[in-house]
Structure 1
Amino acid sequence: MGRTAVLVDGFNLYHGMKKQRGRRYLWLDHVGLASRLRPRDQIVDVRYFTATVLDDVGAAGRQQTYLQALKAQHPGLLTIVEGRYQRKCMHCRACGADWTSYEEKETDVNIAVALMEIAASAEIDTVLVVSADSDLCPAVRSARTVNPQLTIVPAFPPHRRSGELRALLPSAFTISETKLRQSQLPPVVRDPATGTKYVRPVYWQ
């Protein structure tokens, strides 16, 4: 039984799931999903990379409920790693309209740093990278140089592909809808330490 770490690109996965089935699978249990994707492995480290939603109180509240539910369901096993969103003022030259856009920052860098840390530690046999972001290719190459024995497997979210990642790592595969459906958190998650309950948002039903 190999020791496996899981690095989840939350932004990449969110948009893939939402494109496939709307909000149906957003209450996702990442440890449960990893266990189904790597049933023969020992899942020892799961890191979920995300960024706090800006300027949408409802969405930010649902996100925080979800993050707390993840930590409560798997205390000590799952870690939340937060990047940030950056506001960008946009202007349309054709019509003169102005609007605010948001760009996620730091997630790919944070995943790359984590991958290098794991490679250098030589304590992990396999890293499952849930992402189809080709920007991770340089980090993958460096990690394999540091630790040639480390197996790195990309798990592409639905409707997300990276030819560059697949060429670099032919073991890449796409996460099926069946695995997502089977890997949902319970409707109500109770924190074993505090007794606090986290309920799946109605908006995500």
Structure 2
Amino acid sequence: MIRSSFFIDGFNLYHAIKRLNEPHLKWVDLMRLMHRQISPKTETVHAVYYFSAYAHWLPGQRSRHEQYVAALNTSGVQVVLGQFKDKHKHCHDCGTTWIQHEEKETDVNVALYVLNEAYRDTYDRAYIVSRDSDLKPAVEMVKMQFPEKQIFIVAPPNLGHSNDLIQVADGKQKIKKQQIEQSLFPPAVKDAFGNVVANRPAEYDPPGDTNAGT
């Protein structure tokens, strides 16, 4: 069996789902969704990595994100968090100052994990869920050092692939909206002991469903 590992750029996927204008799809079980990307007769999912960061200046969004990460942890997804850094900006013409938030580490973490897991020989095929062309050098290095390993690029729903990435990869796939709809967490997510560890935020309730957390 082919050992397949998934490396998910959380922000790439989140913003693609957000553009679908169906908030309940954000409550997606990534482990179940990634199992829908493989050929079960020839592949097995070895690991799923989710890379993201908390928007610390947006308490509501951060709270929802924390609930989501708690849900992912119950499914076996390995969460790798980066961070946002505050960057002070100044307009020399009008004198206005403001704080700009820049997400750091996610693309670097994805690249490092794809490369490190290749060296550790934990996968035969890597699926990279991202459109970030900055990952191209990492893919090239894996292919150079481990030509027998395969790299597939997975595009989020309703978005195209990065041409830079598919030029150096072995194949490409696309996540379909229907696959997301079939891979949602329940309203209340429980751990292996039956304890509720995450509740679906009310903002993610499906249309006509007001039973969040029940």
Normalised by the size of structure 2, how large is the TM-score?
0.87
In 1: Cα distance, 2:194 partner to 2:88 partner: 42
The two structures, once aligned, show a CA RMSD in angstroms of: 1.8
Equivalent residue, structure 2, for 1:56? 58
Q: How many residues align?
A: 202
Q: Which shows bigger deviation, 162-171 or 130-139?
A: 162-171
Deviations 1:30-69 (A, max 9, x none): 1111100113221111111111221111111111111011
Who is 1:111 aligned against? 110
The match for 1:195 is 195
Q: Aligned to 1:24, what secondary structure does the other structure show?
A: helix
CA deviation string 1:131-189 (max 9, x = no partner): 11000000000011121111111101133531111222262232111111111111211
Show CA shifts across 1:91-140 (max 9, x none).
34555443322111011111111111121122311111111100000000
Per-residue deviation, residues 4-23 of structure 1 (Å, max 9, x unmatched): 11111001111111122352
Matches within 5 A, 1:162-177: 162-169=162-169, 171-177=171-177
Q: Provide structure 1 residue ranges, at least 5 long, that are not aligned to the other structure.
A: none
Distance in 2 separating the partners of 1:188 and 1:64: 14
Closer, same or farther: CA 82–140 of 1 in aligned 2, 3 Å: same
Distance (whole Å) between structure 1 residues aligned to residue 145 and residue 197 of structure 2: 43
Distance 1:105 1:160, change over 3 A: farther
- 1:53-132 correspondence runs (5 A): 53-72=55-74, 74=75, 77-93=76-92, 95-132=94-131
- How do 1:32-43 residues align onto structure 2 when only pairs under 5 Å count? 32-40=32-40, 41-43=43-45
1:23 matched residue in structure 2: 23
**What secondary structure, in the 3-state scheme, does the structure 2 residue paired with 1:21 have?**
coil
Unmatched 5+ residue regions in structure 2?
A: 206-214
Quick one: which amino acid aligns to residue 154 of structure 2? A
- Per the normalisation by structure 1, the TM-score is 0.91
Alpha-carbon offset, residue 86 of structure 1:
1.0
The amino acid that maps onto 1:67 is V
2:46 counterpart residue number: 44
Q: Which amino acid aligns with 1:85?
A: F
